[in-house]
Structure 1
Amino acid sequence: MGRGRQKAKQTKVARELKYYSPDTNYHALEQELSGDSRTDVATQSRWESSEDEEYDNRYSDWADQDGNTR
């Protein structure tokens, strides 16, 4: 008896996703496509994080101790 209610909820969610159209930020899209020299925050934080530097430092210390640098 509960299957009908569950299917109705799934149909409602699917319909909302199908017809959802957020506002497009054309300025940000233009900057991304033009290859502007400024990088976006998500990319910058992903590639230039201090955690990566800490990992690199720990690895280089381990490699130096072990004598296996590649």
Structure 2
Amino acid sequence: MGRGRAKAKQTKVARELKYFSPDTDLNALERELSASSSSREAEHASSEDDQGDDDYGDYEKWASGDR
């Protein structure tokens, strides 16, 4: 038996997670999102330089059987 205590603890934790809403630092979130989007844009721009204009070059090789 012994599962009663574990289940009660899980229920308590789940209830706390469901109903507890911590204060969100929206300024920090905005900084984090803007930093990740700018780095993602830079990464995307550098990968476009490597690929050229054709985004499906590898797919065309695969589809034609020239793997």
Q: Name the structure with the higher helix share.
A: 2
TM-score, normalised relative to structure 1: 0.43
TM-score, normalised relative to structure 2: 0.44
